Amino acid sequence: MTSPPVPRRVALISVHTSPLAQPGTGDAGGMNVYVWQTATRLAQRGIEVEIFTRATSSSDAPIVSAAPGVTVRNVVAGPFEGLDKRDLPAQLCAFTAGVLRAEAMHKPGYYDLIHSHYWLSGQVGWLARDRWGVPLVHTAHTLAAVKNASLAKGDTAEPMLRVIGEQQVVDEADRMVVNTDTEATELVSMYNADRARIDVVNPGADLDTYAPGSRSAARAELGLDPDETVLTFVGRIQPLKAPDVLLAAAAPIIRRARMTGRRVRVLVVGGPSGTGLDQPTALIDLADELGIGDAVSFLPPQPAGRLAQVYRASDLVTVPSYSESFGLVAIEAQACGTPVVAADVGGLSVAVADGKSGLLVDGHDVEDWTAAIDGLLATPDRLVDMRRHARPHAEQFSWEHTSTELLASYSAAMQSFAARNPGSIGAASARRSARRWRRVRSKMPVGQ
């Protein structure tokens, strides 16, 4: 039997956000975590990974050795500051030129495969694929048609420019990687994608960083009262993520708790992003309007180690998003042993074991969210049982497993591309890399 090909070197394209950026504000979020975690784990298996992203500061070095086997290339495209992803289509030509010039410094066949993240990167990857003669694997992370079908009140619809751009990438990519079966179905129904070219690969969590620990120690580190109930939101502050739903749902719980001498605190961790930048103080104003301003605490985005402490300090973590392709926050929180209350949208139905490691809420009606949260807080035994099941559920989602499944998708893309283009550089790469398969397999963790 012929061994499946394995790439020697992969070009990851992430135009609008660097994997080195702090998730939780601006355009940095779960995609940053995904790109970084998969890149480092692929590198641990002997695959060289180069990540192309847009430079956002004059101090960004053109080339950064970010980890063993992982290089980040900061491509200059447009002004360093003052642009968000809505402005970036006009800079794709400049960015693509930077990507092609980097490859042109090497002999043909330097990269074996391109993996693009988000539609902007897919546009760049599509052109590079044709220029380099290697396959393109694409991960959308979010889809405009899905977001527009479930807009938060007051949010802005994704423009037709993006919808068209996504459709072009779907049509051109050699393979698509999605987070869940739901996302695969959405690609087929909304973008007429070929199901045979779609691979479902669940994201994961860093199960070493995100692990159960002392709640009292976590609260002491964060300056939280050891005796109060803590309800937490982690993520970018924008209508799509719906932190306002948590505040509104928590308000009657906080008011009732005050009458009995108990204390309930809402902890919001993140920074304004997207359309949330238009009203950066909106959540603070809402808390004051609801009469719970003194019971709401705000923290800026936190590095991974301290974020784990946030999860450990929490009684419940909430993910009330209107759209979520997976929901890494939910997995990270459960990995720390904290139950999650999440909206029953997108990949959250996979990320949360409903009734076992948390609860899924149908819709965003504030009364339903109040009832779900209050119901759990009123049944301590059930909450303890969910804490017990949270970590085992999260352990099903590791970045090691994700990278194994990504490698399988890469191999399939290389095989099909070589079959369609037998004289291409990609075909030659597939033949060479097939001979390396046994060595790569020997570096995989046992059971992967």
Annotated binding residues, written as ranges, equal 16, 22-23, 27-32, 85, 118, 142, 162, 236, 241, 302, 311-312, 314, 324, 332, 338
Detail the residues annotated as belonging to a binding site for UDP-N-acetyl-alpha-D-glucosamine. 22-23, 30, 236, 241, 302, 324, 332
The rounded distance, in Å, linking the Cα atoms of 448 and 446 is 6
Distance CA 253, CA 232 (A): 14
Pairing of strands 63-67, 70-75: antiparallel
Q: How far, in Å, CA of 393 to CA of 353, rounded?
A: 7
- 262: exposed, middle or buried (Cβ count in 10 Å: 0-12, 13-18, 19+): middle
Sequential DSSP letters for 240-266: GG-HHHHHHHHHHHHHHHHHTT--EEE
Give the residue among 311, 148, 128 at the shortest CA–CA distance from 235. 311
Q: Find out whether 330 and 319 touch, Cβ atoms under 8 Å.
A: yes
Token digits of residue 375: 């119901």
Choose among 262, 273, 252: nearest CA to 374. Answer: 252
Binding site for 1D-myo-inositol 3-phosphate, by residue number, is 16, 27-32, 85, 118, 142, 162
Residue positions in the annotated binding site for Mg(2+)? 311-312, 314, 338
